[in-house]
Amino acid sequence: MEKIYELIIIGAGPAGITAGIYAARKKMDCLVLTVDIGGQTAWSGDVENYTGYQFITGAELASKFEEHIKKYGIEVRENEPVLSLKKEGEIIRVKSSKSEYKAEAVIIASGKKSRELGAQGEKEFKNKGLTYCATCDGPLFSGRDVAVIGGGNSALDAALQLTRIAKKVYIVTKDLSLTADPVMCENAEKTENITILKGCVTKEIFGPRFVEGIKLVCGKTEKVINVQGVFVEIGLVPNSDLANDIDKNNVGEIVINYQTETSLSGVFAAGDVTDVAEKQIIIAAGEGAKAALRAFNYLSRKKMPPKNEKTS
């Protein structure tokens, strides 16, 4: 007989891991399907706003998450992205890249992925000098000149990380001012090996085999900057393609209510894949805890006998 899990959690970032821990504490029969453990947290540089840690790196915090979830012996399957889910009666079918599973309830905590730049040469030079993760790939560019595309928090976080590694860091933003938190902008502006280029659109990444430079359009003029690395940090898009039968907003985020319920009964969602206003590690973790508790409540109600049915 095919196994039916009480709960399947999709994703193992802060939301998914916290949901898994809460599910384990409720003794739920739970499976976690994920690409990796830690999600975007593992990409972060310095984390200074997660309660209990005045300072911790993203990689260290992701390691703490992994250590915590493994303590409970939860069944976690890494390198297994989920492709789709479909509800049939009271059962939800979850199809992954490797298999298909059944569950009574599902929590989608699949997070977000990097937004692509759309410039000429982006696809050709991916992993050949162009990357979307400074934390992952920054050490490969030691002593080189690099460009960070973007002007928000993720871009400045990447740029500040790279100042310790690269010789020169260019921040390229299409806006006329940086949009990151003021403290990050101040740090970037006073860092000697950072040059900020505002109002510039990246037109092309070029080189023979590996990145050798980028072409920019700054107003009415074109500029060429010789760099050996390009880090694209222009925001994220939700990993919500798997949820075709669930309501989403105009940017693809899964719409949830205050109880983390989606438009499909038995399916909950938490973290950056949802339309929750603020995208923060600590908020994702809290939403994951809430989703697990609501899923437990949902399953408990399903198993209760009807009011007119007497129990012995």
The model's confidence at residue 49, banded by pLDDT at 50, 70 and 90, is: confident
The model's confidence at residue 312, banded by pLDDT at 50, 70 and 90, is: very low
C-alpha closest to that of 118 among 31, 202, 13, 14:
202
Region 184-194 average pLDDT? 96
String of DSSP letters for 109-144: ---EEEPP---BTTTTTBTTTEES-HHHHGGGGTTS
pLDDT tens by residue, 8-29: 999 999 999 999 999 999 999 9
Burial class (CB in 10 A: 0-12, 13-18, 19+), 303: exposed
- Residue 249 has a CB neighbour count (10 Å cut-off) of 12
* Contact by Cβ (8 Å): 81, 96: yes
Cα of 159 vs its chain's centroid, Å: 19
* Whether the predicted pLDDT of 309 surpasses 60: no
Query: Which is more confidently placed, 166 or 45?
Result: 166
* Whether the predicted pLDDT of 135 surpasses 80: no
The model's confidence at residue 226, banded by pLDDT at 50, 70 and 90, is: very high
* Whether the predicted pLDDT of 47 surpasses 70: yes
- So what's the pLDDT on residue 308? 60
pTM of the model: 0.78
pLDDT tens by residue, 85-107: 999 999 999 999 999 999 999 99
Residues marked as catalytic: 133, 136-137
Element of type H or E holding 196: strand 194-198
Q: CA-to-CA distance for 80 and 232, rounded, in angstroms? A: 25
Alpha helices by DSSP H, 34-110: 58-71
pLDDT tens by residue, 243-302: 999 999 999 999 999 999 999 999 999 999 999 988 888 999 999 999 999 999 999 998
- So what's the pLDDT on residue 137? 84
Percentage above 90 pLDDT, the chain: 76
- Kindly list the structural domains of the chain, giving each domain's residue range(s) and its CATH number in brackets, ordered by start: 4-114+236-303 (3.50.50.60), 130-232 (3.50.50.60)
The model's confidence at residue 69, banded by pLDDT at 50, 70 and 90, is: confident
Q: Per residue in 40-68, is it b (16+ CB within 10 Å) or e — as a string?
A: bbbbbbebeebeeeeebbbbebbbbbbee
* 224 SS3 class: strand
* Contact by Cβ (8 Å): 216, 203: yes
C-alpha closest to that of 41 among 16, 24, 23:
16
Query: Which is more confidently placed, 270 or 69?
Result: 270
Phi and psi angles of residue 231, each rounded to the nearest 5 degrees, phi first? -115, 115
Joined tokens for residue 253: 């985020």
Joined tokens for residue 161: 């990380």
* Contact by Cβ (8 Å): 48, 1: no
Query: Which is more confidently placed, 169 or 66?
Result: 169
Query: Which is more confidently placed, 65 or 250?
Result: 250
- So what's the pLDDT on residue 134? 84
Looking at the DSSP bridge assignments, the partners of residue 216 are 202, 223
- So what's the pLDDT on residue 306? 63
- So what's the pLDDT on residue 299? 96
Percentage above 70 pLDDT, the chain: 96
Angle, alpha carbons 82-83-87 (nearest 5°): 90
